[in-house]
A and B are shown apart, each in its own frame.
Chain A
């Protein structure tokens, strides 16, 4: 569990010497500008090929058989009928009844798979696989697990208590308090629901495997395939040119589905495509764990939180943890926290966009407004009062003040809108942080040929964040070109090793190496050009599509002419991540306004203001898009998403997209994004920070509107009406 004080103080500004060629330019040409996404035309025309779109000669389609029960022992699996079905080429058992690994631990746990000539035949054949289960008692309700009234399923118990964390003097803290509150806050399990499901196309050539896979890490996927299949990494090529959304669930492994695809392809001696369907996505490819906190907190009359005592828990599914940072960001000297992981017979959690932070934020921020009301302080001032000292990576106080002014916070009424009629409006505020630092190896290769073409090649991947565009922007900026003149080559493990895209680390990891490679290549080009210009290579610069003497722009030549001097052997230069061109930890604040219809319980978000930093902004247009996307993701978490389990059977009742609710166009509020530039800090990731705070800000706006505190999510009409009714009783 992260202690925020720890990382708030350890940050150092980017410190590549400013006179170094590698240092980020003081006056960038395209860095930080609004560059259109390079692959936009491929995506809007349907030309972009995702894993789901890959077709290979003789390709088969695979389907899996999954447990319908949350807990069972697999007694037998009979493939014979399936093997006789039309078009079937291979079938395999994943949960071998004869092995130790013959238990299914959640609805959707993999049991068997089959590959056939068409998807329809594969579906038929999967239905023909006969599985006999011995149903076991299950635990899917957290409360029962905690109360000890559920069947004992997991070795060592259904509940695992962690070491309590404590600092300061709790008793003294409560003594110093003028008011004490005791409340329970909670968030629900949600699923990643990537638009492109998890899936793979595997093709063998002898013992060499080519895998197209919808993944957040081609390098990791290569390792994963090689070790699980017992072949050298050199025999595995992983390709992911385009992927339809990655929010953490595609980051850490190729999954059982990836390995089953490879094994079916081997057995059938033909390429196999295995794309999961929507139900499988909800059940088996990860989720954001639930969270709950029973908090007793004390506040002094002048608004300082003096004590914080929390018991927390959550479920990450079958044997997986459910941690989250608490208290979130605010500095509370006297505190204690005891956490329990609750194991349930549900699909295992996987990292989901800012793992832990949305939960920590919600569990903390609702309490903040309850405490602020106790001492009759404005929520913005109350937050500022309890923040750690301001630092480049902790700018919350400034953002809160600036945001309050822009948002019209002074028009916010006290808790409970007194306007007559059913429509009540309210405002809420919340803050966020995230690491997002870079790391290597992230080797970039720059190639310049005599025709002037520039290729920047590296083994990273674009989840949709705009990585491909970022590669071109940084390269073009270093070479004095336009991004359209650079060809980024990514998404293929043949291009080298780069880190997995998770934790908002991609931009900070790959940007330094790209710049270093481009600058190194430019050095080599200057050497070739210098003699023709009667100048030293050191006196030359590249700008505006020309190479020229720095002090005399007329003394130079066009990029095309310069490259003609390269000769038949292209310029090839490399670069890798350097520690001081990126840094870590962002801060942000978000303000939300809602209208609540107290007769229907419908919450309508009307306005969101985002203030967010991410160090040096590389590509402003796509950076803003990350903020919009983060806000909308968090709005979904706040208002709509919920993995609902049947209380008796433990099965998910809404494993689809019509009852697993997500926002549509009519649900989107006006969103204003203020990117706070900190170029001196180098590149920092932005994928996750903006998706943390919105949910709490919305819930607090509902509280401000209705006068009723919503202490758990989602804020569905039924739950809002229930809370309103309860408050009247």
Chain B
């Protein structure tokens, strides 16, 4: 699995540079495309659509996408998983926060092709049917949301934090959620909501 990842990463990088047209020339300076091909046994893919297999919320999703497509856009525009949002598209606002192999990531700044073989969790898969995750329930109870556009990112960041620190201190909660922005100004109640979830349960 790891080896597959590696080879694909090499190609995705080359294809990424080629397709975005940032710089054919610079790319050659780093590694000549022909050499890159020669170094690998995997056939060249791209610059157009390539097969990408993702494991999202426990389900396998097969997509044909360009290597430059981000994880966020791949799920939002190709898999109808629109729960996580695009706010800034450059890893500053956190609305796109997902959990990949247990770590929170800005999915707007992660290429889909790079997270093949990893366990990806989005807000869409957090609840168990109609049974909300304790963090989701806490957000509802405390009115920790207004327009709700940043909410999915905050929820995933909170889940990621609490899985790492089930009894997070106030300082850990603040630091853990500092990568997310809310424009309506719900921070006070998000803090209350996350503080009310202890050990994965509502306190």
Binding site for B on A (CB under 8 A): 36-37, 39-50, 52-53, 55, 61, 118-120, 193-196, 242-247, 275, 277-278, 463-466, 621-622, 624-625, 628-633, 656-658, 662-666, 668, 671
Contact = CB atoms under 8 A, between A and B. Distances in A.
Given A242-B147, A657-B88, 17 more contacts: A36-B141, A50-B85, A195-B87, A196-B85, A196-B87, A246-B147, A464-B146, A464-B149, A625-B184, A625-B189, A629-B184, A632-B188, A633-B183, A658-B90, A658-B92, A662-B183, A668-B187
Given A46-B82, A46-B152, A665-B173, A195 B93 contact: yes
A666 B178 contact: yes
Contact of B92 (A194, A657, A671): A657
Contact of B151 (A43, A278, A466, A625): A43
B187 to A, nearest CB: 4
B202 interface: no
Interface string B151-167: 11001000000000000
Contacts of B114: none
Interface in B24-74: 66, 68-69, 73
A278 B89 contact: yes
A43 B73 contact: no
A656 B184 contact: no
B76 to A, nearest CB: 7
Contact of B143 (A36, A53, A244, A277): A36
B175 A666 contact: yes
Contacts of B111: none
A665 B122 CA distance: 22
Contact of A40 (B90, B145, B184): B145
B115 interface: no
Contact of A44 (B88, B140, B149, B184): B140
Nearest to A666: B174
Nearest to A625: B143
Contacts of A628: 185-189
A45 B155 CA distance: 9
B88 A278 contact: yes
Contact of A662 (B89, B143, B181): B181
Nearest to B187: A668
Nearest to B81: A46
B177 A665 contact: yes
A46 to B, nearest CB: 2
A277 B86 CA distance: 9
Contacts of A668: 187-188, 191
Q: Which 3 A-B pairs have the closest CB atoms?
A: A46-B83, A464-B147, A244-B149
Nearest to B130: A41
B127 to A, nearest CB: 5
B124 interface: yes
Contacts of B191: 665, 668
A119 B148 contact: no
B140 A656 contact: no
B120 interface: no
Contacts of A463: 147
B100 interface: no
A275 B89 CA distance: 12
B105 interface: no
Interface in B82-141: 82-93, 95, 122-124, 126-127, 132, 136, 139-141
Contacts of A40: 139-140, 143, 145
Contacts of B83: 45-47
B146 A629 contact: yes
Contacts of B174: 665-666
Nearest to B137: A44
Nearest to B193: A44
Contact of A48 (B68, B148, B155): B148
Q: Which of B141, B185, B186, B188 has the most CB of A within 10 A?
A: B185
B90 A41 contact: no
Contacts of B143: 36-37, 40, 621-622, 624-625
B185 A52 contact: no
B180 interface: yes
Contacts of B90: 278, 656-658
Given A44-B136, A46-B123, A195-B183, A243 B89 contact: no
A277 B73 CA distance: 13
Given A119-B77, A195-B182, A278-B88, A632 B148 contact: no
B150 interface: yes
A664 B181 contact: yes
Contacts of B82: 46, 49, 52-53, 55
Contacts of A631: 185
B186 A625 contact: yes
A278 B87 contact: yes
A633 B185 CA distance: 6
A665 B73 contact: no
Q: Which of A42, A43, A193, A665 has the most CB of B within 10 A?
A: A665
Given A40-B139, A45-B124, A245-B149, A52 B86 contact: yes
10 contacts: A41-B132, A45-B83, A46-B123, A119-B73, A194-B149, A466-B146, A628-B186, A665-B173, A665-B191, A668-B191
B169 interface: no
B140 A37 contact: yes
Nearest to A631: B185
A219 to B, nearest CB: 20
Nearest to B151: A43
Given A52-B86, A196-B149, A668-B191, A44 B185 contact: no
A671 B179 CA distance: 21
A665 B187 CA distance: 6
A400 to B, nearest CB: 23
Contacts of A194: 147, 149, 183
Contacts of A663: 187
Contact of A39 (B91, B148, B190): B148
Nearest to A634: B185
Contacts of B146: 245, 464-466, 625, 629
Contacts of B147: 194-196, 242-246, 463-464
Contacts of A664: 177-181, 187
A242 B151 CA distance: 13
B72 to A, nearest CB: 11
Contacts of A624: 143
Given A36-B140, A245-B183, A657-B87, A45 B126 contact: yes
A46 B85 CA distance: 9
A50 B147 CA distance: 10
Contact of B89 (A277, A464, A633): A277
Contacts of B189: 625, 628
B184 A464 contact: yes
A525 B24 CA distance: 74
B149 A629 contact: no
Contacts of B149: 50, 194-196, 244-245, 464
A656 B185 contact: no
Nearest to B84: A46
A688 to B, nearest CB: 13
Nearest to B69: A120
Contacts of A464: 145-149, 184
Nearest to B91: A658
A104 B85 CA distance: 32
Contacts of A630: 185
Q: Which of A39, A40, A465, A624 has the most CB of B within 10 A?
A: A40
Q: Which of B90, B91, B126, B181 has the most CB of A within 10 A?
A: B181
Contact of B145 (A44, A49, A53, A277): A44
Contacts of B187: 628, 632, 663-665, 668
A195 B150 contact: yes
Contacts of A244: 85, 147-149
A136 B141 CA distance: 56
A668 B126 CA distance: 28
B73 to A, nearest CB: 7
B82 to A, nearest CB: 4
A44 B146 CA distance: 11
